[in-house]
Amino acid sequence: MYTTADPEWGIAAYTFRNTELPRLLTEQDGLYTLLLRGNGAPRAEIVDSISRAHPGGDTGRWLADLASPDVAVLTLTITEAGYRVAADGTGTAIDRVLAGLRARHRAGGAPIALVPCDNLPGNGGVLREALGRAAANEDPGFRSWIEENVSFVDTVVDRITPATAEDDSVTAAELTGFDDHAPVVTEPFNEWLLAGDFPLGRPSWEHAGARFVDDLAAYEQRKLWLLNGAHTLLAYVGPTLGCTTVDEAVRHPVPAALTESWWDTATRHASLPAEDLAGYRERLLRRFSSRGIRHNLVQIAAGGSSKIPARILPVLRAERSRQRLPEAPVATLAGWLIHLRDRQVDDPRADELVSLARSDDAARRVLSALDADLADDRELITAVDDYVDHLRHAADRSPST
């Protein structure tokens, strides 16, 4: 959407495993509909910035694109779990990026900007570190080329974009007359913040509202703690009370009160000025409550083992260092324990975590798998265990959603 602001640029898009989406996009000449759903009537825009779409398995094409000096920027949206480096170094997104950079280095070594768009603190640094680990056994000349020519840009992407539902295609076609098989539904709000260098230039994304800043840390903290932290809380507590979407969960008295309590706790440790945080929080409640967006909690519940450490634990640690034990992080951890015990778990560490969650002394063992220091916090572990019982009782008394 931001790239449509600069018709000089186009996107060669690659999926990871999905072969259907590139096929559909190719049939549609790369066009897709952005369906904006808020509390009023839906609106639609056609996005024309994808020049080509390829399945991730099209390795020859991928290497040729990455080798080309016409390619100046590589963005990645691969989920938090996508930054893991496999023990044998193969088959991951990081491995594919490394192969692409190798091809680029061999083809003359034009510089490039890598722009991760996933919800991770310091996502540019996370990518730099993951690539560094994957490249540990590479030729030293290639490794120093990476250091000197690859720029790692930090970003914060803020726009609630749930998985597309069937009726979204119907609504999109009614609004545009274009029979789109790959529409994307989103909220009207959008914010994209970036910090870093683009050695070969970039699209003028600022013309569509992107903001380039020197330091992202405070914005990142605000977004990851207040928005994604609350989403994580709702994704684990909501389903224990019969809620299936974010808007349902923030209308239910128990998760609604916990969300407010989480925001009170997290804002005590956030760096931006209080008025800014209060405004963001107020807007968030409106965004979460929007009836236009049906954001499934199951989608948000995936990958808790990488999300909880980034969104919940920094605040919990800051509170524990002041001898406080706030309710909302305890509720999130208890909800996660119930999730691991009772539900279909989508997480790269699912086997290990599900087995720990079903063992004796589960709370201590699951929490220590997240952070070894938590294993010694008896007060926290007891509170999480008690909260599991509390949530189960609350479920029995829960109003229907």
Ligand X SMILES: O=P(O)(O)OC[C@@H](O)[C@@H](O)[C@H](O)[C@H](O)CO
Ligand Y SMILES: NC(=O)c1ccc[n+]([C@@H]2O[C@H](COP(=O)([O-])OP(=O)(O)OC[C@H]3O[C@@H](n4cnc5c(N)ncnc54)[C@H](O)[C@@H]3O)[C@@H](O)[C@H]2O)c1
Contacts with ligand X, residue ranges (CB under 6 A): 80, 119, 158-160, 227-228, 231, 300, 307
Q: What is the token pair recorded at 300?
A: 């948000």
**Shortest Cβ distance from residue 273 to ligand Y (Å)?**
24
Rounded Cα distance between 294 and 341, Å, is: 26
Which of 37, 53, 65, 80 binds ligand Y (CB under 6 A)? It is 80
Examine residue 190 and tell whether it contacts ligand Y (CB under 6 A).
no
What does the buried/exposed string (b/e) look like for 213-239 if buried means 16 or more CB atoms within 10 Å of the residue's CB? Answer: eeebeebbbbbbbbbbbbbbbbbbbbb
Examine residue 78 and tell whether it contacts ligand Y (CB under 6 A).
yes
Nearer to ligand Y, 106 or 133 (CB): 133
The CB-side HSE value for 311 (13 A sphere, CA atoms) comes to: 29
Rounded Cα distance between 77 and 67, Å, is: 20
Q: Which residues contact 201 (CB under 8 A, 6 or more apart)?
A: 72
Residue 16 touches which member of ligand X, ligand Y, none, C-beta under 5-8 Å by kind:
ligand Y
DSSP annotation of 234 reads H
DSSP string, 221-232: HIIIIIIIHHHH
Nearer to ligand Y, 16 or 142 (CB): 16
Tell me which stretch binds ligand Y (CB under 6 A): 15-23, 205-213, 268-276, 371-379.
Answer: 15-23
Examine residue 118 and tell whether it contacts ligand Y (CB under 6 A).
yes
Residue 227 touches which member of ligand X, ligand Y, none, C-beta under 5-8 Å by kind:
ligand X
Residue 15 touches which member of ligand X, ligand Y, none, C-beta under 5-8 Å by kind:
ligand Y
Which of 7, 18, 86, 342 binds ligand Y (CB under 6 A)? It is 18
Residue 293 touches which member of ligand X, ligand Y, none, C-beta under 5-8 Å by kind:
none
Examine residue 161 and tell whether it contacts ligand Y (CB under 6 A).
yes
| Phi and psi torsions of 380, nearest 5° | -65, -45
Burial of 178 (0-12, 13-18, 19+ CB in 10 A): middle
| Phi and psi torsions of 110, nearest 5° | -65, 145
Burial of 151 (0-12, 13-18, 19+ CB in 10 A): middle
Rounded Cα distance between 289 and 39, Å, is: 9
**Shortest Cβ distance from residue 25 to ligand Y (Å)?**
12
Nearer to ligand Y, 80 or 248 (CB): 80
Rounded Cα distance between 96 and 103, Å, is: 11
Examine residue 157 and tell whether it contacts ligand Y (CB under 6 A).
yes
Residue 17 touches which member of ligand Y, ligand X, none, C-beta under 5-8 Å by kind:
ligand Y
Examine residue 81 and tell whether it contacts ligand Y (CB under 6 A).
yes
- Enumerate the β-bridge partners of residue 150: 112
Which 87-116 residues touch ligand Y, going by CB under 6 A? 93
Examine residue 77 and tell whether it contacts ligand Y (CB under 6 A).
yes
Rounded Cα distance between 354 and 339, Å, is: 9
Do 194 and 154 form a contact (C-beta atoms < 8 A)?
yes
**Shortest Cβ distance from residue 117 to ligand Y (Å)?**
6
Which of 150, 160, 310, 370 binds ligand Y (CB under 6 A)? It is 160
Examine residue 75 and tell whether it contacts ligand Y (CB under 6 A).
no
Residue with tokens 């706790």: 265
**Shortest Cβ distance from residue 213 to ligand X (Å)?**
17
Amino acid identity of residue 113, one-letter, is A
**Shortest Cβ distance from residue 225 to ligand X (Å)?**
12
**Shortest Cβ distance from residue 331 to ligand Y (Å)?**
23
**Shortest Cβ distance from residue 228 to ligand X (Å)?**
5
Nearer to ligand Y, 43 or 159 (CB): 159
Nearer to ligand X, 64 or 256 (CB): 256
| Phi and psi torsions of 269, nearest 5° | -115, 0
Under DSSP, is residue 255 helix (H, G, I), strand (E, B) or coil? helix
Residues found near ligand Y in the complex (CB under 6 A) = 15-18, 77-82, 93, 118-119, 157, 159-161
